[in-house]
Amino acid sequence: MWEYTDKVRDHFMNPRNVGEIENADGIGEVGSLACGDALKLFFKLDDAGRIADAKFKTFGCASAIASSSALTEMIKGMPLEEAEKVTNEDIAEYLGGLPKEKMHCSVMGREALEAAIAYYRGIPLPMAEGEVVCECFGVTDIEVRRAIAESNLRSVEEITNFTKAGGGCGKCHERLEELLREARHEVQQIIPDKRPTRLTNIQKIKLIEEVLGREVRPTLRKDGGDIELVDVDGDFVIVSLRGACGSCKKSQTTLKEYVEKKLREQVLDTLIVEEGK
Amino acid sequence: MNTVYMDNNATTRVAPEVVEVMLPYFSDLYGNPSSMHTFGGQVGHAVDEARGKIASLLGAGPDELIFTSCGTESDSTAILSALQSSPGKRHIVTTRVEHPAVKNLCENLDKLTGHKHKVTQLPVNSDGTLDLNLYEESLSDETAIVSAMWANNETGVIFPIKEMAEIAKSRGILFHTDAVQAVGKIPINLSQVPIDFLSLSGHKLHAPKGIGVLYVRKGTPFVPFIIGGHQEHGRRGGTENVASIVGLGKACEMAAKQMQDENTRVKGLRDKLEDGLLASIPSSLLNGHKTLRLPNTTNISFEFVEGEAILLHLDRFGICASSGSACTSGSLEPSHVMRAMGVPFTAAHGSIRLSLSVYNTEAEVDFVLEKLPPVIAQLRAMSPFWQGEHKGKTGSSQCKCSCS
Ligand SMILES: Cc1ncc(COP(=O)(O)O)c(C=O)c1O
């Protein structure tokens, strides 16, 4: 059973603004029967360019219906330029949150709005231009890239939750991994990164030793523990925890949440720290 | 609010009579059935007695039953045992509509056993039935075991297990059936059906959750899954779940007595419900064969609406059902059973399963017949695909990927 907020339940049970608008200024249609959810959004502008009325028709689960209803409530009265800035996160927030597996419902709302605005302006929909990454759900790379950037997605599973891409046959998972990697590099370009992009093994080991010596070991020693670097194999950093740390039940947490984090921050963000047997 | 429980393929109410016979084993009769003293010994007798009742429901010998913790454990035990006892054979035949207990196991055997296995998942027809010719062709000298469910949990469709088992036997191939949904609902007589392994689960027939049985035919090679003490003659270690075993014995005894009622009155209620819904709701389709089916199950698709939305509306009236829609399964695609049957996408997302039991009444059926049609109408009024005039025709959109 999904944990829906009262707001989601309310908008599902008593959806606002269901229907169609005749002679609508904007009409946006996204999703399909095959995909399991679809939304058709209509809006009408007043003379001042504000959204005077918005209506929807939705096929889908409770959160799809609630997201559509919420969207229409949110944009009514907004100038078009402002409506344009509504994101899926705004829709989810309006509803008091959505289960993470259901975030794609809010994304669908936002995309329908974009489609309706593009229709009004008589321009092609930017989303549809890209390369179709997920054939099962017809999701393009542009949609995936944007979701990664805006919602700070970090795994294929998260991409699926937000865009549905990868939720069918799974053939596109590799491509999605690639997009994630690309996005990470973009982020690195924006925030200047002092770390060298390529390290020789020797450099890597030296840097790791340095960070362990400077930060990690002193902290662990305070709790009566210690750490030793055993081996570095590609991205795998094998260490052994000593003393109080080694027997501590939390040693896995220490390893991942502390040691790995430190090394990723200061050496290479792909490193995986494991304890040697 | 009254609960109208029509989700008996998910789990069933523990019969009050079952609870009653179990209670002493939580209090006064706490002995270990393996103990030497009379105090434990009497508990051992109760286990034996229950074993006898279960065996008699199945037409099996008491020694052919092994108590397990659930249907899933029984399934795993049977399949892994067969693979270990015929190590030279690396082929399994199963179907595309098995419960995850069998399906996921078969799909992940490589990881578990460290060997490559070839798994044939037989397709089903659009009504969920199996093609015996395809089945026969799929068998080879390499085949270690066939695992096919007796009755499907989503649609209730019954496979021709007797014929399938006979074919396997004639080829010297072990045969397992997941009869979790069949036991207690339709007559089963293992003295007439040459299967090697059968799985059942207590909580589907008014016994508690957490008790299962694996039937292993006398003479069938067996390799234990859970290894430990000498319980179950060394075939399954672990101190017996006595209270649940006693409860399961009682539930089987009751099931035998109620078999007639299940297949007449309950079936009548199911038919009334099904016929009523199909008649009053346009563009609704039955999923599964009309007659080769469990007496308690109906699975109907309502086109152009989505299952989770239907369930939540029903929930408001206290009606418990389930759906094969993507959203309810937590995945993004409709259930593997609906996909294997090739249910059109217009309909697969809107499938609802109602599964009855002897506790359901005609008043409850009438209540669902009253509440469900307006829910569908309301959701359709909101659906961009609903034209009001579909006349039962289905859309043409299909899954574009090559997975199914
Ligand atoms: C056909 C089938 N097999 C196996 C199982 C699993 O049984 P259990 O829940 O006892 O592990 C179920 C129940 O969900 C089932 O319907």
How confident is the model at residue A245, as a pLDDT?
59
Considering the domain architecture, whether residues B79 and B221 belong to the same structural domain is answered as: yes
Considering the domain architecture, whether residues B169 and B312 belong to the same structural domain is answered as: no
A130-190: CATH architecture = Orthogonal Bundle (1.10)
Q: Is A57's Cβ below 8 Å from some Cβ in B?
A: yes
Assigned domain for B103 exists: yes
Cα(A90)–Cα(B79) distance, integer angstroms: 50
Taking CA atoms, A226 is separated from A167, A241, A260, B92, in Å, by 43, 6, 15, 51
Contact (Cβ atoms closer than 8 angstroms) between residue B350 and residue B284: no
How many domains is chain B built from? 2
Does domain A6-121 fall under CATH 3.30.565.10? My reply is no
B400 → chain A, closest CA residue: A136
Question: Is residue B391 very low, low, confident or very high in pLDDT (cuts 50, 70, 90)?
Answer: very low
* Listed residues B220, B254, B288: the one ending a domain: B254
Pairwise CB contact (< 8 Å): B334 & A36: yes
Q: How close, in Å, is residue A203 to chain B by CA atoms?
A: 37
Taking CA atoms, B390 is separated from A115, B343, B348, B395, in Å, by 27, 17, 16, 9
Residue A244: phi and psi, rounded to 5, are: -55, -35
Domain of B233, CATH number, reads 3.40.640.10
Assigned domain for B129 exists: no
Contacting residues for B89 by C-beta, under 8 A, at least 6 apart: B83, B141, B142, B143, B144
Collapsing DSSP to helix, strand or coil, B181 comes out as: coil
State CA A68 to chain mean position distance.
20
Q: Is B184 left (phi over 0), alpha (psi -120 to 50) or beta?
A: left
Assigned domain for B394 exists: no
Considering the domain architecture, whether residues B63 and B169 belong to the same structural domain is answered as: yes
Neighbours of B133 (CB within 10 A): 8
Q: Does the pLDDT value for residue B400 go beyond 50? A: no
Taking CA atoms, B368 is separated from B153, B241, B273, in Å, by 21, 38, 8
> Do A6-121 and A201-275 have matching folds?
no
Assigned domain for B198 exists: yes
B307 → chain A, closest CA residue: A61
Q: Is B403's Cβ below 8 Å from some Cβ in A?
A: yes
Query: Which residues of B carry out catalysis?
Result: 327
Chain B residues 363-402 with CB within 8 Å of chain A: 381-386, 395, 397-402
Domain coordinates in residue numbering, chain A: 6-121, 130-190, 201-275
Contact list in B for residue A39 (CB cut-off 8 A) is 384
The partner residue sitting opposite A59, judged by closest CB among B312, B316, B385, is B385
To test the contact with chain A by mutation, choose from B317, B327, B380 the residue with the greatest count of A C-beta atoms within 10 A, namely: B327
Q: How close, in Å, is residue A27 to chain B by CA atoms?
A: 12
Contacting residues for A90 by C-beta, under 8 A, at least 6 apart: A74
Domain of B363, CATH number, reads 3.90.1150.10
Contact list in B for residue A157 (CB cut-off 8 A) is none
Question: Is residue B91 very low, low, confident or very high in pLDDT (cuts 50, 70, 90)?
Answer: very high
Considering the domain architecture, whether residues B213 and B319 belong to the same structural domain is answered as: no
Query: How big is chain B by its Cα radius of gyration, in Å?
Result: 22
How confident is the model at residue B72, as a pLDDT?
97
Considering the domain architecture, whether residues B275 and B331 belong to the same structural domain is answered as: yes
Considering the domain architecture, whether residues B52 and B183 belong to the same structural domain is answered as: yes
B331 → chain A, closest CA residue: A167
Query: Which residues of A carry out catalysis?
Result: 35, 105
Cα(B159)–Cα(B143) distance, integer angstroms: 20
Assess whether the C-beta atom of B71 lies below 6 angstroms from ligand 1.
yes
The minimum-distance atom of ligand 1 relative to the CA of B75 is 4
Question: What does the pLDDT look like over B311-342, one tens digit per residue?
Answer: 999 999 999 999 987 666 667 778 899 999 99
Considering the domain architecture, whether residues B244 and B269 belong to the same structural domain is answered as: no
The partner residue sitting opposite A58, judged by closest CB among B326, B327, B382, is B382
Task: Give the pTM.
Answer: 0.80
Superfamily of domain A201-275: Fe-S cluster assembly (FSCA) (3.30.300.130)
What is the end-to-end Cα distance of chain A in Å, rounded? 41
Q: Token pair for residue A77?
A: 């009265």
Q: Which of A235-239, B15-19, B207-211, B380-384 has the lowest mean pLDDT?
A: A235-239
Identity of residue A76: K
Residue A184: phi and psi, rounded to 5, are: -60, -40
How buried is residue B8: exposed, middle or buried, by Cβ count under 10 Å (0-12/13-18/19+)?
A: buried
| Ligand 1 centre distance from Cα of residue B298 (Å) | 18
Contact (Cβ atoms closer than 8 angstroms) between residue A61 and residue A50: no
User: What is the ipTM, given to two decimal places?
Assistant: 0.84
Contact list in A for residue B325 (CB cut-off 8 A) is 36, 61
How confident is the model at residue B151, as a pLDDT?
98
Neighbours of B126 (CB within 10 A): 13
| Ligand 1 centre distance from Cα of residue B398 (Å) | 30
How confident is the model at residue B403, as a pLDDT?
37
Give alpha helix (H) positions in B15-108: 16-22, 38-58, 71-85, 100-107
Q: B266-300 burial, b if ≥16 CB within 10 A, otherwise e?
A: bbebbeebbebbeeebbbbbbbbbeebbbbbbbbb
Question: Is residue B87 very low, low, confident or very high in pLDDT (cuts 50, 70, 90)?
Answer: confident
Considering the domain architecture, whether residues B204 and B105 belong to the same structural domain is answered as: yes
Considering the domain architecture, whether residues B178 and B52 belong to the same structural domain is answered as: yes
Stretches where chain A sits below pLDDT 50 are 189
Residues B285-300 have a mean pLDDT of 97
| Ligand 1 centre distance from Cα of residue B185 (Å) | 15
Contact list in A for residue B304 (CB cut-off 8 A) is 33, 59
Identity of residue A253: T
Taking CA atoms, A215 is separated from A207, A212, A245, A269, B280, in Å, by 12, 6, 16, 17, 72
How confident is the model at residue B178, as a pLDDT?
98
Considering the domain architecture, whether residues B177 and B288 belong to the same structural domain is answered as: no
Collapsing DSSP to helix, strand or coil, B144 comes out as: strand
Q: Token pair for residue B252?
A: 């089987």
Pairwise CB contact (< 8 Å): B316 & A13: yes
Identity of residue B21: V
To test the contact with chain A by mutation, choose from B345, B396, B400, B402 the residue with the greatest count of A C-beta atoms within 10 A, namely: B400
Identity of residue A266: Q
Question: In sequence order, what are the beta bridge partners of A30?
Answer: A39
CA neighbor of B403 nearest in space, from A31, A160, A134, A157: A134
Contact (Cβ atoms closer than 8 angstroms) between residue B309 and residue B92: no
Considering the domain architecture, whether residues B77 and B169 belong to the same structural domain is answered as: yes
Contact (Cβ atoms closer than 8 angstroms) between residue B137 and residue B159: no
Question: What does the pLDDT look like over A139-177, one tens digit per residue?
Answer: 889 889 989 988 889 999 999 888 888 888 888 999 999
How confident is the model at residue A235, as a pLDDT?
83
| Ligand 1 centre distance from Cα of residue B101 (Å) | 7
Q: How close, in Å, is residue A265 to chain B by CA atoms?
A: 34
How confident is the model at residue A246, as a pLDDT?
57
Find the angle CA(B256)-CA(B257)-CA(B262) to the nearest 5 degrees. Answer: 85
To test the contact with chain A by mutation, choose from B305, B306, B329 the residue with the greatest count of A C-beta atoms within 10 A, namely: B306
Q: Token pair for residue B104?
A: 């996921």
Q: Is A213's Cβ below 8 Å from some Cβ in B?
A: no
Q: To test the ligand 1 pocket, which listed residue (B204, B206, B241, B248) has its Cβ within 8 A of the most ligand atoms?
A: B204
| Ligand 1 centre distance from Cα of residue A122 (Å) | 54
Identity of residue B27: S
Assigned domain for B56 exists: yes
Rounded to 10 degrees, what is the CA torsion of A262, A268, A272, A273? -40
A104 → chain B, closest CA residue: B332
Considering the domain architecture, whether residues B43 and B187 belong to the same structural domain is answered as: yes
Identity of residue B214: L
What is the domain range of residue B360?
A: 4-9+259-381
Neighbours of A268 (CB within 10 A): 19
Contact (Cβ atoms closer than 8 angstroms) between residue B194 and residue B174: no
Q: What does DSSP assign to residue B13?
A: P
